[in-house]
Structure 1
Amino acid sequence: MRIVLTGAGGFLGWHTRLRLAALTDHEVIPVTRENWHDLDYLVSGADAVIHLAAVNRAESSSDVEQGNIRIGNEVARAVSAASRPLRVVMSGTIQVERDNAYGRGKLAAQRALSEATTTAGGHFVDVCLPNLFGEHGLPAYNSFVATFVHATIAGENPRVNDNPVELLHVQDAAQSLIDGLDCGNERIRPNGIQTGVVKVWKLLQEFHRSYVPTGEIPDLSSKFRINLFNTYRASLFPDHYPISLTPHSDPRGSFVETVRCRGGEGQSSFSTTVPGITRGEHYHLIKIERFAVIQGTARISLRKMFHEEIIDFDVSGDQPVAIDMPVGWVHNITNTGHDVLLTQFWSHELFRPEAPDTFTEPVQPLPKEPSQ
């Protein structure tokens, strides 16, 4: 299926594109501000549209409302201009039930897009989302969780008013949007976890107290804790890394603790790598994975999916360090020395062959095909 994905450069857009790349064979046409002017042309050749582009914040509430109406109308016109049935999935919001600018704008956009889709004989699906959180959210824009993460890392103590809140991890939201591509429903309402604002703040403080000083992995005994920890550590990358490990030496040699975890599953393994060979070349959607070189020298390289910049860490067993791989970042390790490289790997969950959460992709991006 050829899918036009609007808002592909945003928070939800990046995660949806990542999940589509990992779990489907669909061809995804990303639409951002840079190529928005090609929207009509791109939709004309599509089988489906996932519409995520929206205005979350602006100088005034009127700008938020009118901005979402304008964007919705432009996508609706592109769907109408295609003059054929399309599957259209839109990221909706529980805010449509409330009298605020964002909810009113999204509701008007939803109605315009639904009418354009059904008039052309297509199928429209509204994916009604609660509050989202996850890796690479922007503070003071995407989520209060992103704002809390930023404050935690910066050592700030914002005033926190406790309220009940429903939180859905952005990868779960992305899966609901993908489900909309072949479901018979006109509305999908994924359920998040019911929690409190203060509880989120306290969990982030708990993570920060253990992880930053020593690299200790916190209690990961629930899916929510795993998702929140991944959200937190994504904002630490790359400035916080590598994590220094402390050798304890005596005449017999040295002992180095590479992983300390307070709860949840965990699996350790090691590999030997001959000089010049590269391992890895993959990314994960949720797995927390730590690399620690025990012997030899190596270069650990990472690249955020759909970006070109590569971040390199040159590491050595003589000065042991650990690097934790952020989800959605392709990574590899290359033996850059003249001797066999010994590397220890740790992940927060047991390896399951039926669901390995490992997706092949080279760190060095493939050259782009020339335009036809």
Structure 2
Amino acid sequence: MKNVNVLITGANGFIGKNLYVALEEMKNVSIKTYTRDQTIKELEQFLNQADVVFHLAGVNRVKDEDIEFVEGNINLTEKITGILRKIDRKPIIVMSSSIQVTNNTPYGESKKKAEEILEKYAQETNHNQVFIYRLTNVFGKWGKPNYNSVVATFCYNISRGLDVDIHDPLNEIELVYIDDVIKEFKNRIYCLKEKSKPFIHQVTPTYKITLKKLAAQIYEFYNLRKNLIMPDLSNPLTKALYSTYLSYLDQYQFAYNLEIKKDLRGSLVELLKSDHFGQIFISTSHPGVIRGNHYHHTKVEKFCVIKGKANIKLQNIISDEISSYVVTGDKAQIVDIPPGYTHSLENIGESELIVLFWANEIFDKDRPDTYFREVENE
């Protein structure tokens, strides 16, 4: 791809920050940014060089609706189209608008007016590479709480133990993830000759969720540090929300403590649990210690020695046939523990043994599916 000159208006905003970083990662892309602190002369200079203009500047919460919405959402669009007419250039234009253009609110009306200005310019100049994206509620990293998104507000407050105010818990909102927005915008750089028909476009996928369910989901993330239960990340919305939630943690509160259960054998620490993938935990054992000597009917496990030397023995409880595996932390190896095999784990080294375990279900003390039976000597 040839070198592409890109101009971003509103680069300091939520979408602008994410787009700027993503474009910096691309080869052969030169980026200029324009903010409200710069001059019209600078804007003209940038537009005279730009192959692609991402017009993201705008405001959605103001003190004076009659002035600030006009200045932030309408006037800059008029200035851009006026300059492009003057210098007779037709860069690709990608403008972020909002689904609120149909709401008859001052904000929605200002975004609608900006759309109309851009559409009129495109029609009068026969410019067929103008893309207007009516975005729904965008969420993701670097959004501003109490400004950009209810997701940002919920993540920020809940992660800090603050209350969230929900006026209508059953109100359903439609969300779109910032990475999907950026992916769509980046594609416009790869499609320099693609014509826009019609002007109005959408970013997919979008997700619908009630405010009540959204808050409940984020509280699940908050409680993870105590109950260790991971959400179902196979759900794309849950996955995106969890990544977003972590981005709003206090930077000095990333680490958290786990409970260490100790006895004469060594220690055991549970790391993560999930109704979908089971449980991960880690144990330490002193030299000569033997763990296990039990079997399961349905539960299965995987053992991985991280440090030290172990002898893992398994005995079929029907045939009594025994197999053993000597494993060390020097070689990455997993030993499967099928149901119906009583098994033991012995530290046969001279130092501490550290083993990582996975089980396909969370341990339930009322239904442990664990039955004592010693592995016989071979």
TM-score normalised over the length of structure 2: 0.63
What is the distance in 2 between the residues matched to 1:248 and 1:81?
A: 74
Aligned residue among 8, 13, 27 for 2:16 = 13
**2:271–2:280 Cα contact (<8 Å) kept:** no
C-alpha distance 64-174 of structure 1, shift in aligned 2 (>3 A): farther
Aligned residue among 185, 192, 214 for 1:200 = 214
Structure 2: give runs of 5+ residues left out of the alignment. 282-305, 308-353, 357-378
Q: Displacement, 1:176?
A: 2.4
Alignment of 1:291-330 (within 5 A): none
C-alpha distance 267-96 of structure 1, shift in aligned 2 (>3 A): farther
Deviates most, 213-222 or 57-66: 213-222
What is the distance in 1 between the residues matched to 2:19 and 2:57?
A: 12
What is the distance in 2 between the residues matched to 1:266 and 1:97?
A: 48
Aligned residue among 111, 135, 138 for 1:132 = 138
Deviation string 1:59-118 (CA, Å, 9 cap, x unpaired) is: 033234312112222222333343222111101211112211111111211222333355
What is the distance in 1 between the residues matched to 2:236 and 2:38?
A: 37
SS at match of 1:88: strand
**1:8–1:30 Cα contact (<8 Å) kept:** yes
Asked if 1:45 is matched to 2:53, the reply is no
What is the distance in 2 between the residues matched to 1:8 and 1:106?
A: 18
Alignment of 1:194-233 (within 5 A): 194-211=208-225, 213=226, 217-233=230-246
Asked if 1:55 is matched to 2:59, the reply is yes
Asked if 1:88 is matched to 2:102, the reply is no
What is the distance in 1 between the residues matched to 2:261 and 2:26?
A: 44
Q: Displacement, 1:223?
A: 0.6
* One-letter amino acid of the structure 1 residue matched with residue 207 of structure 2: I
SS at match of 2:212: helix
* One-letter amino acid of the structure 2 residue matched with residue 175 of structure 1: K
Deviation string 1:109-148 (CA, Å, 9 cap, x unpaired) is: 1222333355455321111211111122112210112122
Q: Displacement, 1:180?
A: 3.7
What is the distance in 2 between the residues matched to 1:116 and 1:176?
A: 23
**1:127–1:180 Cα contact (<8 Å) kept:** no
SS at match of 1:239: helix
Asked if 1:164 is matched to 2:178, the reply is no
Asked if 1:241 is matched to 2:254, the reply is yes
C-alpha distance 237-262 of structure 1, shift in aligned 2 (>3 A): farther
What is the distance in 1 between the residues matched to 2:271 and 2:126?
A: 58
What is the distance in 1 between the residues matched to 2:175 and 2:207?
A: 5
C-alpha distance 23-224 of structure 1, shift in aligned 2 (>3 A): farther
SS at match of 1:55: coil
Question: CA RMSD of the aligned region, Å?
Answer: 3.0
Q: Which has the higher contact order (CA 8 A, sep 6+)?
A: 1
Query: Could you say which residue in structure 2 is the equivalent of 1:152?
Result: 158
Asked if 1:65 is matched to 2:69, the reply is yes
Structure 1: give runs of 5+ residues left out of the alignment. 269-293, 296-341, 345-372
What is the distance in 1 between the residues matched to 2:115 and 2:136?
A: 16
Q: Displacement, 1:156?
A: 0.8
Q: Displacement, 1:227?
A: 0.8
Deviation string 1:158-208 (CA, Å, 9 cap, x unpaired) is: 234121221111111222223344242233212411221211111111211
What is the distance in 1 between the residues matched to 2:120 and 2:34?
A: 22
SS at match of 2:174: strand
Q: Displacement, 1:264?
A: 6.4
Deviation string 1:218-247 (CA, Å, 9 cap, x unpaired) is: 332301001111111111041322223444
TM-score normalised over the length of structure 1: 0.64
* One-letter amino acid of the structure 2 residue matched with residue 19 of structure 1: A
What is the distance in 1 between the residues matched to 2:28 and 2:264?
A: 56
**2:11–2:20 Cα contact (<8 Å) kept:** yes
**1:50–1:88 Cα contact (<8 Å) kept:** yes
Asked if 1:99 is matched to 2:104, the reply is yes
**2:55–2:95 Cα contact (<8 Å) kept:** yes
SS at match of 1:58: coil
What is the distance in 2 between the residues matched to 1:216 and 1:31?
A: 44
* One-letter amino acid of the structure 1 residue matched with residue 195 of structure 2: G
Query: Could you say which residue in structure 1 is the equivalent of 2:363?
Result: none
**1:16–1:171 Cα contact (<8 Å) kept:** no
SS at match of 2:132: strand
SS at match of 1:72: helix
* One-letter amino acid of the structure 2 residue matched with residue 66 of structure 1: V
**1:151–1:158 Cα contact (<8 Å) kept:** no
**1:73–1:112 Cα contact (<8 Å) kept:** yes
C-alpha distance 82-198 of structure 1, shift in aligned 2 (>3 A): farther
SS at match of 2:231: strand
What is the distance in 2 between the residues matched to 1:258 and 1:80?
A: 61
What is the distance in 1 between the residues matched to 2:13 and 2:91?
A: 23
